[in-house]
Structures are given as structure tokens and as C-alpha cells.
Amino acid sequence: MIPNPMELILRIATAMTFFGHGVYAIQGNTGWLIYLETVGFSVERAKDMIEIIGMADLMVAFIILLRPNKYVVLWAFIWAFATAVMRPLSGESIWEFVERGANWGAPLALFFMLKMKSTKRL
């Protein structure tokens, strides 16, 4: 079944966000270590975790693009929102959070769209 255009746009936008961040994380983006340190991880542990997070982001991207599941999409929203909030909590400007509104807004909109779609089937 072909999704409606709005759902497809939200799926692509969300998948691109998670694909891009996943690739950056797998490459070992050291600029992101501060966010893990902010929530209590050591630098060494954060370096280990960043690649795992990157692989998880890639999995989320492919699931959302190929066969979206509302719970995976909900996770995408929670993760994107948390990482956006982490910016000002780690000492960056609130505008770093504001700028990332689409990173969590697209999966949130997609979640509600999928939820409404699944409710109509019942």
C-alpha cells in the first residue's frame, strides 16, 4: 500500500535525520561526547557508546523509511527531543534546541499520523 504524500514526506524527513546522525556517530563525532558526559558518562564510555548509538540511529532510519512502526517512530521522537534538550543542558544556547525542532517535530507528527491510521483499521 502506497502511503499518502504527507506520511511519505514525514517518513523521509525523519529517516534522513536519523541516517545523517547515525553516520556522524559511527564516524566518531567527538563533538557529541559532551552530551553523554552531561548525563554522567565518562569520556571513555561515551566514545564506546557513540558508535552503538549511531548503529541504532541507522536501524531507526531504515525501519521508518521501509516499514514504519508507530512505537519506533515514538522512540525517534523521544530520542530526538532528548538530544535537542541536551544542547542547552550542556551549556549551549537555547537556540540550539529551537533549531532542532524539526528533528523531533517530524517524528511526532508521523507518530500521530500512524496512530490515527491504525485506529481507523480497528
Residue 122 scores a pLDDT above 60: no
Cell of 9: 514526506
Give the whole-number percent of the chain exceeding pLDDT 90. 89
As a whole number of angstroms, the distance between CA 116 and CA 9 comes to: 17
Percent of the chain's residues with pLDDT above 70: 98
Confidence of residue 75 (pLDDT cuts 50, 70, 90): very high
Overall domain count for the chain: 1
pLDDT, one tens digit per residue, over 18-69 is 999 999 999 989 999 999 999 999 999 999 999 999 999 999 999 999 999 9
Helix axes 101-121, 5-26, angle to 10 degrees: 130
**Which domain, by its residues, includes 73?**
5-121
State how far the alpha carbon of 65 is from the alpha carbons of 9, 33, 62, 83, in Å: 10, 28, 5, 21
pLDDT of residue 116 exceeding 80, the answer is yes
State residue 64's pLDDT score: 97
